[in-house]
Structure 1
Amino acid sequence: MKDYTDNCPAFLTNVAGNHLHEGLTKLLAESGLNLSKHQLRILFYVYEEDGIEQKQLREFIKLSKISLVKIINDLEEANIVVRVPSENDMRNNRIFLTSLGKKLKTPLLALVDEHRGVAFRGFSSEEIDSYRSMLKRMIHNLAGQ
């Protein structure tokens, strides 16, 4: 079994991902930012496109409609985002940052960068670029299955 756990890319990726999420969640909690990994993912997309359509967000994040609504509800309750009905399709909402959501961006991204620095300690920039490139290719290869 040790050979499988030491050599299986899927297993290793999953373990690394779990450590990344747990470490970042702990770092955020210590800083007073109690955000889940899914809330973070949503915020990253909203930081890239303030006013992103909820439907588009769901396609990117690959969560069920119910799960996404729950996460957005929680972010709204925390006054980090607000939903506004889309002008083009009243069945769809656009997700905007509140003033608090905007204020959180800089410290949140700083914590993510700090955590990334810990995760990639001892890696060269070429190794990091190669790792990122391989993951993107793997995601692309598996997305159509």
Structure 2
Amino acid sequence: MAVQQKNISELALELGWAISEMKSRLRQKIQTTINEYDPDLSFELVEILGLLSRNNGINQQEIGNKVSKDKSSITYLINNLVQRNLVERVAYKNDRRNKQIFLTPKGKHIVETIYPWALELYEKAAGNLRENEINNTLLLIKKMTANLE
């Protein structure tokens, strides 16, 4: 009995499921680690802090695009971070309505504490994969994402 060949759309669907499952597992494990550090922090809040550690000073719209959240969700999350003194909003000089988001020293400290734990999990997920395998997969996923634009 021959195994039926999967068509490109079925393979793309399976890839999407696999990516979603990996993200879900990583998220659960990272949240467990976050809970040990501070039970009041959520994965979403830490995700934004991590993003700002690499792109400090971007605006809420850019944050929303990078973490795939809508405007109202991002506003809620940023307000939460501001109340905790983990980020601050700073108005652009040319446009006071538009605000840049910056990490505070307290926010930087949390990133410096939690980020290494998250990297350990990603390293575990990478296992014995070679760098070129990950780079090729990353290129593939970016191409597929661009096809949806």
State the distance in 1 between where 2:14 and 2:126 align.
Answer: 20
| Alignment CA distance shift 1:135-1:69 (3 Å) | same
Aligned to 1:28: 34
State the distance in 2 between where 1:116 and 1:34 align.
Answer: 23
Whether 2:111 is the aligned partner of 1:111: answer no
Helix, strand or coil for the counterpart of 1:87? coil
Aligned to 2:19: 13
Higher Rg: 2
Whether 2:135 is the aligned partner of 1:129: answer yes
Helix, strand or coil for the counterpart of 1:8? helix
**TM-score between both structures, scaled by the size of structure 1:** 0.80
Matched residue pairs, number? 140
**TM-score between both structures, scaled by the size of structure 2:** 0.78
Aligned to 2:3: none
Whether 2:108 is the aligned partner of 1:102: answer yes
After the TM superposition, list the runs of 4 or more consecutive aligned residues in structure 1 that deviate by more than 4 angstroms: none
| Alignment CA distance shift 1:109-1:66 (3 Å) | same
| Alignment CA distance shift 1:55-1:86 (3 Å) | farther
Q: What value does the CA root-mean-square deviation take over the aligned residues?
A: 2.4
CA contact (8 A) 2:50 2:115 kept: no
Deviation at 1:72, TM superposition (A): 0.5
Identity %: 26
Segments of structure 2 that go 5 or more residues without pairing to the other structure are 1-5
Deviation at 1:90, TM superposition (A): 1.8
Aligned to 2:91: 85
CA contact (8 A) 1:55 1:92 kept: no
